[in-house]
């Protein structure tokens, strides 16, 4: 039996670049990064992106002497590095502190409807969604806002929704020291609604269930919470 990554590589080789993008196929569980990704500091990256984006705008025929457009290359460069793709830089990873579970709370904790904005790595257009995250304490608890910060950190990079779901789940498992973690993401992809098939009504749902959440009763309880049935 072939390894899943080998099988995926074989499948990808038979697809064109356009097909890979339109089918929203991801090639790895980790965000694909070069070894030298952080050899340049942020200021240099912004300067280079500013220059390149100015070239793109000029190629499209835009007049960069216009007051409205003259500052756009710099604004885009700053937005890329400091905002919407800031999750690429491990220096921006949220610092997480855990606390003893002094209340001995042994049921699931659910943080639902975490709004996030990401970007599709195939076309660099927005993914707008909600993440629902749950865990069962193994002796430690995490501040609620930190769950949101984990979601935002991994969302702020070029993404595939399946990978984003896995990355959030894996990070929480590692931090909490427990397998009892669940993540569900429901998102709208503007690369589907604003281009290509232009379907404005569909959304994409992905899920990761680990540990006790693989049990049907526990999983159903979690899903009932996020669907507003309790």
Q: Which of these is catalytic: 50, 111, 123, 152?
A: 123
Active-site pick, 111, 122, 159, 167: 122
What lies within 8 Å, CB to CB, of 66 at 6+ separation is: none
| Catalytic residue (choose from 120, 132, 152, 167) | 120
Question: Does the annotation mark 152 as catalytic?
Answer: no
Catalytic hit among 111, 132, 152, 189: 189
Q: Which of 132, 152, 159, 191 is catalytic?
A: 191
| CA 6/CA 209 separation, integer angstroms | 24
Strands lying side by side in the sheet with 108-120? 158-159, 108-120, 126-136, 181-189, 204-209
Task: Write down the catalytic residue from 152, 161, 167, 208.
Answer: 161
171 is catalytic: no
> Is 23 tagged catalytic?
no
- Establish whether 161 is a catalytic residue: yes
Active-site residue 122, yes or no? yes
What are the catalytic residues? Answer: 120-123, 161, 189, 191
């Amino acid at each position: 039996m072939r390894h899943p990554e080998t099988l995926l590589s074989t499948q990808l080789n038979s697809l064109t670049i356009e097909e890979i993008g339109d089918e929203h196929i991801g090639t790895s569980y980790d965000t694909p990064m070069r070894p030298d990704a952080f050899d340049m500091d942020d200021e240099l990256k912004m300067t280079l992106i500013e220059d390149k984006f100015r070239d793109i705008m000029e190629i499209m025929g835009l007049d960069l002497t216009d007051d409205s457009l003259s500052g756009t290359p710099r604004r885009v460069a700053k937005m890329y590095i400091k905002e919407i793709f800031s999750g690429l830089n491990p220096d921006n990873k949220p610092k997480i502190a855990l606390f003893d579970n002094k209340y001995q709370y042994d049921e699931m904790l659910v943080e639902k409807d975490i709004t996030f904005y990401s970007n599709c790595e195939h076309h660099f257009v927005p993914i707008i969604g909600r993440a629902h995250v749950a865990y069962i304490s193994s002796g430690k608890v995490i501040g609620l806002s930190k769950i949101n910060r984990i979601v935002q950190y991994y969302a702020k990079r070029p993404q595939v929704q399946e990978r984003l779901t896995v990355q959030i789940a894996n990070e929480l498992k590692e931090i909490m020291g427990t397998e009892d973690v669940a993540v569900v993401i429901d998102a709208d992809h503007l690369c589907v609604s604003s281009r290509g098939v232009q379907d404005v009504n569909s959304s994409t749902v992905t899920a990761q269930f680990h540990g006790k959440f693989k049990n049907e009763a526990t999983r159903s309880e979690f899903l009932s919470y996020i669907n507003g049935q309790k």
